[in-house]
Structure 1
Amino acid sequence: MKTLAVLLFALSLYLLPNPTHSTFNPIRLPTAADDTPVLDTDGDALRPGETYFITSTGRGAASGGVQLAWLDSATKCASNVVISRPLTDGDRIRITPAEPNATVVLPSTFQSFAFFVATSRLCVSSVFWRIRYDQPSGQYFLSSGEFVSDISGQFKIEVAPELNAYKITYCPFGGHICYNVGRYFDESAGAARLALTEDFPFTVVFKKATF
């Protein structure tokens, strides 16, 4: 218990100066990567440099894709990650493995995610996924910002075999203790956002972005 408390305290200091508390507990994932690549909805391996839509496995009102949004008018660049309207795919996203020689995207390995969207010149580099602590809600939200060269700004894709889908996790400090990325409805913003969670990961599939 003492070790867990120290870890969560260190995580809060790492993600944002002076957060008050953490609202989730870690899960432990296998340390060995699977040799089978992550597959898109056509059954093809995800490849570095190509773009994809990351869409929910839910149906009807629970559907939608990962999208970059501007929920805070005080910021210069769109930096909030939300779930798009039902039955839409969201924004195109480029996935880049931490391994520079990788030819496919493998599960359980570190990846950087970046929105492939039109932006102003000021915001062109502020499209990479990151985690940001929001003190009013006590949540660690998925957001966007500038590229971070080490694995502290990267994520993993994990297989959810029972759902025939995938989930995305975040591993602070590049360690083996990871947290699910899940759906969170932000009442103050009136938007479904993505945040770190203990339970109910946001399960997804990857669709080729062909336009």
Structure 2
Amino acid sequence: MKTLFLIFFFLLVAFTINSELVLDINGEPLDPSAQYFILSTFRGAAGGGLRPFKAGNSTYPVNVIKGFSDLDSGEPVKFTPVPKIGLIPTDTLLEIKFAKTPEGVSSGKWTTVKDLGETWTVGIGGPQDHEGYETLSGFFKIHKVDNRYKLSFVPHINTALSADLGMSFEHGRRLVVSNEYFYQCYFRKAVATSF
């Protein structure tokens, strides 16, 4: 048992050394116990943070969209590494969840939904929150690209696959799974509030 623990510990250390820690806008490593806003690197009308929203035929805010300007920070999220480790290195499997679950929705946990024809979008909750549409659960990853970050989706059914998350402006700034472009972002720690 002790040997197994040591092997796991050294593998974890080796993985962390080979990966770079994800940093917030202040240069501090992301802390899984804290809440963060995911914000666009663009300013003005192209800026804004991510938030749950009612889009299309949804009755409740089960879709993830980008705010309409950089004055809208969106809603804070929590990042949970899988398996649970201390800080968050780049390319780590993550669960992402809005810190506050909107009314009428089963969970603030991110998932993907095929509700725009052949396009997979990022939503929240479970299949019961997206009746009539196919859902695909999985993990998310944060990747560093130059001096900014991007997010990708990794399906549970094959964690060797991944696709970037981008923005669909023709569908109300919805977050979509797309390998054509990616949502450039950074992270800002949310001030503790009473949720």
Partner SS, residue 177 of structure 1? coil
Aligned counterpart for 1:179 among listed residues 163, 175, 178: 163
Q: Does structure 1 residue 194 correspond to structure 2 residue 175?
A: yes
TM-score (norm 1): 0.72
Structure 1 equivalent of residue 46 of structure 2: 62
Q: Does structure 1 residue 116 correspond to structure 2 residue 128?
A: no
How far apart are the structure 2 equivalents of 1:56 and 1:127? 20
Aligned counterpart for 2:123 among listed residues 143, 146, 161: 143
Aligned counterpart for 1:157 among listed residues 142, 156, 169: 142
Higher RCO structure (Cα 8 Å, ≥6 apart): 1
How far apart are the structure 1 equivalents of 2:126 and 2:88? 22
Aligned-pair CA distance for 1:74? 4.8
Structure 1 equivalent of residue 5 of structure 2: none
How far apart are the structure 1 equivalents of 2:58 and 2:41? 33
How far apart are the structure 2 equivalents of 1:179 and 1:155? 9
Q: Does structure 1 residue 43 correspond to structure 2 residue 24?
A: no
Change in Cα spacing, 1:44 to 1:143, as seen in structure 2 (3 Å) is: same
Identity %: 28
Unmatched 5+ stretches in structure 1: 1-31
Change in Cα spacing, 1:90 to 1:203, as seen in structure 2 (3 Å) is: same
How far apart are the structure 2 equivalents of 1:195 and 1:64? 16
Q: Does structure 1 residue 84 correspond to structure 2 residue 64?
A: no
Maintained 8 Å contact 1:79/1:126: no
The RMSD of aligned alpha carbons is: 2.2
How far apart are the structure 1 equivalents of 2:63 and 2:29? 28
4+ aligned runs moved over 4 Å, structure 1 = none
Maintained 8 Å contact 1:167/1:202: yes
Aligned-pair CA distance for 1:111? 0.3
Aligned-pair CA distance for 1:36? 2.2
Alignment coverage as a number of residue pairs: 167
Change in Cα spacing, 1:126 to 1:72, as seen in structure 2 (3 Å) is: farther
Q: Deviations over 1:171-205 (max 9, x none)?
A: 22242221000010244xxx111101122200100
How far apart are the structure 1 equivalents of 2:175 and 2:46? 13
The one-letter code matched in structure 2 to 1:167 is K
Structure 1 equivalent of residue 81 of structure 2: 97
Change in Cα spacing, 1:74 to 1:184, as seen in structure 2 (3 Å) is: closer
How far apart are the structure 2 equivalents of 1:73 and 1:183? 19
Unmatched 5+ stretches in structure 2: 1-14, 128-135
How far apart are the structure 2 equivalents of 1:152 and 1:72? 21
